[in-house]
Amino acid sequence: MSESREKALQRAEQLKRSILGYEEALPAIPTGFQQWPRIQENREKLKALLQATDKDWRNWRWHMKNRVGTSDLLKEYFPLSPPQLEEIERVGASYRWAVSPYYLSLIDPDDPRDPIRAQSIPSLKECTDSAGSSDPMDEEHTSPAPAVTRRYPDRLIINVTNQCAMYCRHCQRRRNIGESDLATPRRDLQKALDYVRQNPEIRDLLLTGGDAFTLGNSSIEWLLEQIAQIPHVEIKRFGTRTPVTLPYRIDDQLCEILSRHLPLYVNTQFNHPLEITPDAREACFKLARAGVSLGNQAVLLRGINDSPYVMRKLNQELLKIMVRPYYLFHPKRVLGTAHFWVKIEKGLDIMEHLRGYTSGLAIPSYIINAPLGYGKVPLTPQHLLWLDGDKAVIRTWENRVIEVENETEG
In whole angstroms, how far apart are CA 254 and each of 111, 191, 214, 250, 319? 36, 25, 11, 6, 23
Q: Which of 98, 128, 158 is the last residue of a domain?
A: 128
Query: For the segment 233-282, what is each residue's pLDDT rounded down to a tens digit?
Result: 999 999 999 999 999 999 999 999 999 999 999 999 999 999 999 999 99
Q: Are residues 103 and 161 in the same domain?
A: no
Q: Are residues 262 and 320 in the same domain?
A: yes
Q: In CATH, what number is assigned to the domain containing residue 367?
A: 3.20.20.70
pLDDT band at 178 (very low <50, low <70, confident <90, very high): low
Residue 267 lies in a domain: yes
Cβ neighbours of residue 295 under 8 Å, at least 6 residues apart? 265, 266, 267, 268, 323, 324, 325, 326, 327
Please say whether the beta carbons of 117 and 130 come within 8 A: no
pLDDT for 390 equals 87
Give the dihedral of Cα atoms 250, 252, 254, 258; nearest 10 deg: 110
Q: Are residues 146 and 269 in the same domain?
A: yes
pLDDT band at 130 (very low <50, low <70, confident <90, very high): confident
Residue type, 350: I
pLDDT band at 76 (very low <50, low <70, confident <90, very high): very high
- CB 256: neighbour CB atoms within 10 A? 12
Q: Are residues 167 and 99 in the same domain?
A: no
The total number of structural domains that make up the chain: 3
Cβ neighbours of residue 379 under 8 Å, at least 6 residues apart? 330, 344, 347, 348, 351, 366, 367, 368
The whole-chain average pLDDT of the chain stands at 95
Kindly report the pTM of this predicted structure. Answer: 0.95
Q: Are residues 146 and 76 in the same domain?
A: no
Read off φ and ψ for residue 376, nearest 5 degrees: -85, 140
Cβ neighbours of residue 83 under 8 Å, at least 6 residues apart? none
Query: For the segment 81-95, what is each residue's pLDDT rounded down to a tens digit?
Result: 999 999 999 998 888
Q: Are residues 146 and 273 in the same domain?
A: yes
Whether 179 has a pLDDT exceeding 70, the answer reads: no
Please say whether the beta carbons of 167 and 335 come within 8 A: no
Q: Supply the range of the domain harboring residue 277.
A: 139-379
Residues in a beta bridge with 365 = 327
pLDDT band at 357 (very low <50, low <70, confident <90, very high): very high
The radius of gyration computed from the CA coordinates of the chain, to the nearest angstrom, equals 23
Element (H, E) at 366: strand 365-369
Residue 270 lies in a domain: yes
DSSP state of 159: E
Give 14: exposed, middle or buried? Use CB within 10 Å, 0-12, 13-18, 19+. exposed
